[in-house]
Structure 1
Amino acid sequence: MTTAPAQDQERGSLLDTLLGNPLVGLAPWIVYSLVEGEGRLELSAAVALGIALVLLVLNKLRGGSPKLLEFSDVVFFATLAIVVAVSSDGTHAWLERWSGEVVNIALVVIAAGSIAVRNPFTLAYAKEDAPREIWDNPAFLRTNYVITWAWAIAFAIGAASGFYGDLVLDNSNNIWTGWIVQTLPLIVAAQFTLWYPRRVEALGDISRGEQATVPSVSEFLVQVTPWITAIGVIVLVTDAGPGWLGVAFIIVGGVLTGRFKSASSRAQASAAAPAASA
């Protein structure tokens, strides 16, 4: 039977894992993007601010290191909530239309700005899982620069897509510019965040003469391509395009996923063979 201290330790470990992931730091922005829309500006700002405050307090209570992203969450959404509460009808209407793009631009500024000041926002999270002696290691620092750039690019694509939907199409609810094109880069960045550090670590082990299995590019892509199939389903369900386009996405996503899964399995088998014979 699991004892109470063991249960508390397990819960603490789960909380540490969650709060030590930059994806959780992005939760207020993601939730805001999901909730915001016509007539929901106050609600989306309040919910995002509430989540940001909860994350900041939980991180403080568990003794976690201060994180640029969490402070940025609170400052941005507190400012937005205040502006929404006191704004004129004209400003309110402007925010109703453009707040999604403002959020995306803010994320680009946070990510690119953290790189500019030589403190990529993922670094504080990575340090919590890494021994102090490697914090200044060039490979460790470079890994976080690369990951932060991946997020900056994803945010920039989202901002450009949103602007295109509002400015050119005059439709902030367009399924392509408002959801698909904005979501896919975030999924790619999230999977890259999980895959790339493991690859760098494995390559480092091999360079030191140690045995390691290097996560292949196929292993990364196989986590992304199912979303191509998901796009096809969305197209069919929402009538976001001709039926043949939705079917094409489903087929292409399925074929690519199968190919990358096979390639990943072959790479893992080939890496395991020398270790078994050693």
Structure 2
Amino acid sequence: MTNSPDKPAVDQPTTGTVQTTGTRRVLTAFLNSPFAGMSPWILMALLTGPGRFEEAAASAFVLSLILVVGGHRRGSRIKLLEVFDVVYFGSMAALALFASAGVIEWLEKWGGEMTNIALVAFALGSILVRQPFTLQYARESTDEEVWDSPLFLRINYVITWAWVAGFGVAAVSGAVGDLVLDDSNNFWTGWIIQIGGTVFAIAFTEFYPDFATYRAAVREGWDTDEKPQSMLHLFDWVPIFVLAIGIAGLLTDELSTVTGIVVIVVGAVGIGAFRQLTSSFDARLAQAAPRASKTA
């Protein structure tokens, strides 16, 4: 043995470093996804209510600014949705600051509908000008060589249409609550259905790229590492959502105790049952998959 000092463990990352790196990776992934651009709208929906429009608009505006600055400092390009966020919530914050009490009262009732309609118009408008807003986010995580490929463009057009549908469901649901029920804060039309539309769009965004890539590989005879997935994966959030509805209904007294418990049980049982059903369908697809699609 020698008396030489031990080599410093400079190659071993500390726990704090690992946690910091992991947190930074998660934050970067969030900033590079459409969910970042959606977060000010979600915050606005959560905070808005009678007597709280000013606080909700100001909070959403500040968050939209933070996202733009944070993304830019990390080297991300400023997205159309982020610009739209700043302009829209900046306008809402200005109205909240300078508008009359009557205008504020009108905004408290119809602000949710304005938000939903604005999102539908933005997403649909991005398609009409042939720049679906998800393109800018998708390019952050893909090689530049595929940006102009027909498959890449088609995937983003379809995903953007899914967001149009999700926003449209929220807009129709909110309109029913405001115009028919005269209750913008209705449990079903103001929250559950609107959240469901958004969750569907999120699930579709996660599911469709791999699904479409695999289908294209099979159709064109390409080699791919993607595994076949059934369409059931698109709806694997539904049992969890049902479970959440039951819990929320009990906590807010919107559901009776019996109904809430039944909904919770259905959601809890559905999680396991849906998982088994999805695995079974995936196994069948894997057995029927062409050999060419399985090669690396």
TM-score, with normalisation over the residues of structure 2? 0.84
Please say if 1:189 is aligned against 2:205: no
Mapped partners of 2:250, 2:17: distance in 1:
50
Question: After TM superposition, what 4+ stretches of structure 1 lie above 2 angstroms from structure 2?
Answer: 3-16, 201-207, 209-212, 232-260, 266-275
Q: Cα distance, 1:256 vs. partner?
A: 4.0
The answer on whether the counterparts of 1:221 and 1:260 sit within 8 Å (CA) in structure 2 is: no
Mapped partners of 1:83, 1:7: distance in 2:
42
> Which of the numbers 69, 78, 82 marks the counterpart of 2:94?
82
Structural mapping, 1:1-278, within 5 Å: 1-2=12-13, 12-206=24-218, 207-242=221-256, 245-270=259-284
Mapped partners of 1:174, 1:223: distance in 2:
23
- Please list the CA deviations of residues 64-115 of structure 1 after superposition, one character each: whole Å capped at 9, or x if unmatched: 1221100000000001111111111211111111111111111111111111
- Please list the CA deviations of residues 174-198 of structure 1 after superposition, one character each: whole Å capped at 9, or x if unmatched: 1111111111111111111111112
Structure 2 gap ranges (5+): 1-11
DSSP 3-state at the match of 1:225: helix
Computing the radius of gyration from Cα coordinates, the structure with the larger value is 2
Q: Cα distance, 1:219 vs. partner?
A: 2.2
- Please list the CA deviations of residues 124-182 of structure 1 after superposition, one character each: whole Å capped at 9, or x if unmatched: 00011111111111111111111111111111111111121122111122111111111
The answer on whether the counterparts of 1:225 and 1:257 sit within 8 Å (CA) in structure 2 is: yes
Q: Cα distance, 1:41 vs. partner?
A: 0.8
TM-score, with normalisation over the residues of structure 1? 0.90
**What is the Cα-based RMSD across aligned positions, in Å?**
2.5
DSSP 3-state at the match of 2:208: helix
The answer on whether the counterparts of 1:229 and 1:253 sit within 8 Å (CA) in structure 2 is: yes
The answer on whether the counterparts of 1:33 and 1:100 sit within 8 Å (CA) in structure 2 is: yes
DSSP 3-state at the match of 1:118: coil
Structure 1 gap ranges (5+): none
Count the aligned residue pairs. 277
Q: Give, as a single letter, the amino acid of the residue that structure 2 aligns with 1:180.
A: I
Q: Percent identity?
A: 41
